[in-house]
Structure 1
């Protein structure tokens, strides 16, 4: 039986004064505190998830180092999408150090919260471009955390780096609550022309009405993505515990299962596992059981 992978979740401890969770405003108070492997385990067990990808939450090299240690100590974590300073001219050395560390094999990707930058074209700055190329040179995947505003710059980055693997987090966050189609759809359709781009079907219920969303609010977006990318480049992600602002882990999983219910068994295995293996270049080390 194929491994089932949750391609996107987080852990955090907002009580730790060494970390600045700058994005966790007062209206997100319900998710503050500690979120640890033992808190996620019963949820993934209930849905038959075998492995997960843990993703950075703040621009902190220390968090990345801590996440690599957590991955090494947690049987179900297959890999870490961490953070490094893309603008640092020594980024190549930083990546080399991380990868060569005792837990470095768990580093499978890099991400920056691009949608929080004031400059919509931040990705196109010369030093950022250099940093992204360094990520590719290190044979790591780059996660693009964008909204519609940043998608044109993201498209240029993908066009410049055909040899890299890119993953679009949270389907690039269309405003589902307001029924946004354009400009999101036009940009995501263009991105689909590049075979080195995958999309995480994740983070969608928190873009919908937190208190009144239903699976049929989500399905039209998934249908469009299936039309553009096909089932071989989409992957399930829970975005736990951020998702708990609008629903439970089970609700997120069940909504994804509903949206993909028309796929055959091979395609379902790809969406719920195999595509994450390809996008993050997971091997026997990452997938051991």
Structure 2
């Protein structure tokens, strides 16, 4: 059984997604029903909804949309990782509001869609430090080339619990494994960071990848962070670019088939339960 820590739902009738116009095959609605039908067949028992980089005005609307869906038909949905804007003055009030809301499990600000210096700004870092000691996590979504920025951000807020998305977004197609590998090892030295085995089939050649293509990335992430600091996520529907949800679950099971039942339990669902109190 799995807990999916990285589910995206898209409803363009209710929310604005500025990035979707250039997103090709992702530029359509992706519904809970479409996801849940396949997820249940695969043994996914719960999911956290990950914010989908909606327009700033729709950030709280997105959380309310998912909350309503979870209450009415989304029995797999256990909470949300909500969007946030630490670079804005209103962040402290928003943080306080979300801390009081048990449905919100954490925050994410996608950092590869904004200038690199956003995360280096004093206001951004001061606001992020306000999360120290909080039950909320902060997902880091950066490209592999931005690993030094990720390290600097983590070091600026040692009291915050970070989660590194998508194995640190390796550039699998380019084959630049060694640079990514060194960066992951450095990030993993920070004990306040966990990491997601998620999304990587979307970064491989969609026509040519095999389990052996992605295995080194997943295995190195786990060996660097250890079994207590890794979780699993689908990155649905983005994972469809590499074959889809069933393909990703199958690849995951193939990669970790030789591990112990206890190790797989931690990665697939146990750590997620503990980190987000599910």
**Alignment TM-score, normalising by the size of structure 1:** 0.88
Q: 1:12 aligns with which of 10, 27, 33?
A: 10
Structure 2 match to 1:224: 220
Task: Say yes or no: does 1:144 pair with 2:140.
Answer: yes
Matches of 2:207 and 2:39, distance apart in 1:
23
Structure 2 match to 1:68: 67
Q: Which moved more, 1:154-163 or 1:40-49?
A: 154-163
User: Residue 25 of structure 1: CA displacement?
Assistant: 4.4
Contact 2:195 2:229 in 1 (8 A): yes
User: Residue 97 of structure 1: CA displacement?
Assistant: 2.4
Contact 1:15 1:33 in 2 (8 A): no
Report how many aligned residue pairs link the two structures: 273
Task: Say yes or no: does 1:200 pair with 2:196.
Answer: yes
Structure 2 match to 1:97: 97
Contact 2:227 2:263 in 1 (8 A): yes
Matches of 1:105 and 1:98, distance apart in 2:
8
CA offsets per residue over residues 211-258 of structure 1, 9 Å max, x none?
221111100111211221122212111111111122121100111111
Structure 2 match to 1:36: 31
Matches of 1:76 and 1:136, distance apart in 2:
29
Contact 1:53 1:80 in 2 (8 A): yes
- Superposition CA RMSD, Å: 1.8
Pairs within 5 Å for 1:72-151: 72-73=71-72, 74-100=74-100, 104-119=101-116, 121-136=117-132, 138-151=134-147
Structure 2 match to 1:256: 252
Task: Say yes or no: does 1:56 pair with 2:51.
Answer: yes
Specify the SS of the correspondent of 1:198: strand
Task: Say yes or no: does 1:235 pair with 2:234.
Answer: no
**Alignment gaps of 5+ in structure 2:** none
Higher relative contact order (CA 8 A, sep 6+): 1
User: Residue 31 of structure 1: CA displacement?
Assistant: 2.6
**Alignment TM-score, normalising by the size of structure 2:** 0.91
Specify the SS of the correspondent of 1:200: strand
